[in-house]
Amino acid sequence: MGNTCWILAVGGLYDDSSFEQREAQREKLLRQLDKVDLKLAENIWVYDSIGRAQILLEECSSRSGALQRLKGYRRSGMWLRIRPALE
């Protein structure tokens, strides 16, 4: 993969030991995506070590490409993050 990066939409915090809290934050993030008309073919959730809901919006072949694509998503008003893709 090399320099492949992910663009993630970031949601709220949850207690990692609470399935109910995690699902509630994921549902809230999905509602936010729906509200700004971002439709995903598949919901790919990305683990966050501090317990924050994150969903993959797009995979880009480079960080510079991800930064370019991020500009379009910024209009959504959502909290976004770029991180290296997991291999």
Domain around 48: 5-84
This prediction has a pTM of 0.90
CA 78 from centre of chain: 10
Helices (H) and strands (E) in the chain, counts: 2, 3
pLDDT, tens digit, 9 for 90 and up, residues 10-52 = 999 999 899 999 999 999 999 999 999 999 999 999 998 889 9
Domain total of the chain? 1
Q: Residue 87 above 80 pLDDT?
A: no
Share of the chain above pLDDT 90, in %: 80
pLDDT of residue 2: 65
pLDDT of residue 18: 94
Strands 52-60 and 80-84: unpaired
Q: Residue 1 above 50 pLDDT?
A: no
pLDDT of residue 74: 86
